[in-house]
Structure formats: C-alpha cells, structure tokens
C-alpha cells in the first residue's frame, strides 16, 4: 500500500504521536504527584488530590509502553543507541515509575501522619524527577548525543551521565516540569471543588507563566546551538545504514525547516499561545477549557522539536555522519507494514476504551467521597 519512504515517515509521525500521547495522558499524573503537598494542605485534601488520578494512572502508562515498543520494533537502531546512551537516566526514570505505584498503594494503609507524609513526598519526588529527566533527555537530543558505529554497525556511546546535565538540557528539563505541573494542576482543578480547586487554578496560572518564559528563552537560545545538516545524497528507499551519508554541524540550522515549510510554524505558535490561553481561561475559572489548552501546549512544544529536527531522529555530536535519520534507522518494509496494520486495528480500541473509562469516572472527587470510602480509596 505504501512505499518504504512513506512507511518511514508514517512511523516517524506515529512515534511522535505516542510521545505526545504519553506526555498528555501521563503528564497530568506526574504533574498532580509533584504538586501534591502544595495542592493538598490536610490529609483529606491530599487524598482528594491522589484520588483524582488514582483510577486512571495505570491506564495512562499504556502510552509509555506503546512508545517504548514502537521504538524497539520500528526504530531498532534508535532503541539501541538511546537506551544504552541514556542508561543511567533511564534507570532513574524506571526507579521513579516503580516507586510511584508503591506510594499510591501504601500511602493510606497506615493512619500515621509521618508515614503518610513520607509517601506524599516520595510521590512528589517521583513526579518531579520523571518530568525533569525526560525533559533533559529531549534537550540532549536537540544538541546531539556522543555516539558512533564500528564496522559491524555496533553503536558506542562515549558520553557520561553528568554530561547530560548541561545548561540547555536543564532548561528543557525545567520546562518539562513546568509544563506537566501546569497540566496536572488543571486536571486537579477540573476534578475537585473548594480550596483544592482554587489552589489548582492558582498553580496552573503560575506555571503557565513559567512555561511561556522558558519556551521563549529556548526560542532565543536555539539559533546559537549547532544543528545538523545533511551534505550528501540520501535515498529514502534505501536500506537502513546510518553510515552511508555525510552530515555537518551548522549553527542555527534547526530553524531552517520553519523557513522552508511555513506551515510548520503552527507548532511553535500553539506552543506559545497555549499557556497564554491557560493563564487567561484559568483566571476566568474555565478549568476544562484551560486543561484542553494545556494539552495543546504539550502538543505544540513537542511537535516543535520534532518538526525542527526532521529528518533527524537522534543526531551524533561526536560523529555527525553517524546521526540517525528517518531514512536510515528504521526496520524493514515488511516490519513497518505489519506494525502499521496492527496499529490501525488496536490503537482505535485503546482510544475507545480509554475514553469509556474517563466517561465512567467523570465527576468530581470530594471530601465526602473520601469519608464514605475510607477503606477503598487511596
């Protein structure tokens, strides 16, 4: 049905869709967790906050699993390089993803203030660290990661964990924290009442200002960052071999796609207007519309990164010509075609049952709910 080049672009779009889906769906879980001690001042209020995401957080992690599976099957070289290069960072994320469900399950099992406070701060730390590390990873991808291939096309990562914590990557990390925090605060505002809702609105507006500021700083910083440019012919229909090309670094080249394809400017425009709309709508107490604008903000910011880098997926800062492109890092046409068929069948099912779950669980979480269901709610 599709030629090899088209399949590769389709899977690049699908990979971006899964990443955005994870950031939107699991992002408000992380944001809710990191703001837990600030949105809830009493034990009852904190239980209200936890139970806004309690029934759905496990299902939201489906997007994380889908994204990892897609990278493994559709982009095996990307999987090999990124998971080996970001190994320690991935272990930190996995640790937080392991601790988070433990905190959810055990937090309210013992009616002890110290016990519950400990798990509250573990939830907060898990949400903050996960959002920060994922944002730092994106910042490093934009700058390029030090890796190369040997004659057998085995990837070798030559960087260190602390090299990942460079100034630009920390900027994108803090932007990720603010973005997901804003998303989580608005979700809590849509699911709660009274003081908790008021605090959700307050923190959402504060974090929207931070998102606007950091995104604007990043926009001014990007022109001074070396980007990557292909200087040899690339066959979109050719076999996957990331060594069959020549790439150079050029300052400011990451903005070229927006000049060549003006329609791509929609992404950064949404990324900037989204948090502005959040700030204004939240002030008017339209939390549901503000939450939708927060989701659009995430879409716009992540799309901006992907579109600016196309056709690069993972540049190499140490050996630019080893950078991974959409055209030279994918699986075979048969694998991509088979996976596309499976995606067409199963992705609508996932979206349908997720929508049904949210419809069934619609409504607000109140102090009365916590009081009536002391033993069954988180």
Asked if residues 26 and 64 have their Cβ atoms less than 8 Å apart, the reply is yes
Indicate left, alpha or beta for 308 from its phi (over 0: left) and psi (-120 to 50: alpha): alpha
Neighbour count for residue 213 (Cβ, 10 Å):
13
pLDDT band at 361 (very low <50, low <70, confident <90, very high): confident
pTM above 0.75, yes or no: yes
- Backbone φ and ψ for 85, nearest 5 degrees, come out as -70, -40
Q: For position 83, what pLDDT does the model report?
A: 84
Indicate left, alpha or beta for 362 from its phi (over 0: left) and psi (-120 to 50: alpha): beta
Give pLDDT tens digits for 58-96: 888 888 888 888 899 999 999 999 888 888 888 999 999
Radius of gyration of the chain (CA): 21
| Residue 313, token pair as written in the block | 């997926």
Let me know if 261 is exposed, middle or buried by CB neighbors in 10 A (0-12, 13-18, 19+).
Answer: exposed
Mean pLDDT within 340-345? 92
Domain locations along the chain: 4-372
Q: What percent of the chain has pLDDT over 90?
A: 71
Task: For 231-373, list the strands marked E by DSSP.
Answer: 247-251, 312-314, 324-325
Checking if the pLDDT of 375 tops 80, the result is: no
């Amino acid at each position: 049905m599709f030629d090899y080049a088209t399949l590769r672009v389709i899977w690049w779009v699908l990979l971006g869709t899964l990443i955005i889906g994870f950031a939107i769906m699991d992002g408000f879980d992380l944001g809710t967790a990191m703001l837990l001690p600030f949105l809830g001042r009493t034990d009852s209020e904190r239980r209200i906050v936890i139970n806004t995401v309690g029934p759905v957080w496990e299902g939201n992690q489906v997007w994380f699993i889908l994204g990892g599976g897609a990278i493994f099957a559709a982009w095996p070289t990307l999987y090999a390089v990124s998971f080996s290069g970001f190994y320690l960072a991935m272990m930190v994320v996995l640790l937080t993803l392991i601790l988070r469900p433990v905190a959810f399950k055990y937090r309210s099992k013992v009616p002890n203030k110290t016990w519950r406070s400990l798990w509250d701060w573990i939830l907060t730390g898990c949400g903050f660290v996960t959002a920060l590390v994922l944002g730092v990873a994106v910042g490093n991808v934009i700058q390029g990661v030090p890796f190369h291939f040997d004659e057998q096309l085995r990837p070798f990562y030559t960087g260190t964990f602390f090299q990942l914590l460079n100034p630009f990557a920390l900027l994108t990390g803090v932007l990720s924290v603010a973005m997901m925090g804003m998303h989580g605060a608005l979700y809590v505002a849509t699911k709660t009442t009274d003081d908790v809702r008021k605090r959700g609105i307050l923190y959402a507006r504060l974090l929207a200002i931070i998102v606007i500021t950091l995104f604007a700083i990043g926009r001014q910083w990007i022109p001074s960052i070396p980007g990557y440019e292909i200087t040899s012919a690339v066959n979109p229909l050719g076999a996957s071999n990331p060594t069959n090309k020549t790439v150079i670094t050029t300052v400011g080249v990451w903005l070229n796609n927006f000049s060549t394809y003006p329609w791509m400017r929609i992404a950064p425009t949404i990324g900037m207007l989204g948090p502005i709309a959040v700030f204004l709508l939240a002030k008017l107490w339209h939390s549901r519309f503000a939450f939708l604008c927060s989701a659009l903000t995430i879409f716009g910011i992540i799309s901006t990164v992907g579109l600016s880098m196309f056709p690069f997926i993972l540049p190499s800062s140490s050996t630019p010509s080893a950078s991974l492109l959409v055209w030279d890092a994918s699986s075979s046409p048969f694998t991509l075609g088979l996976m596309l068929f499976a995606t067409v069948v199963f992705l609508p099912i996932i979206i349908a049952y997720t929508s049904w779950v949210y419809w069934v669980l619609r409504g607000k979480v109140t102090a009365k709910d916590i009081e009536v269901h002391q033993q069954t709610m988180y």
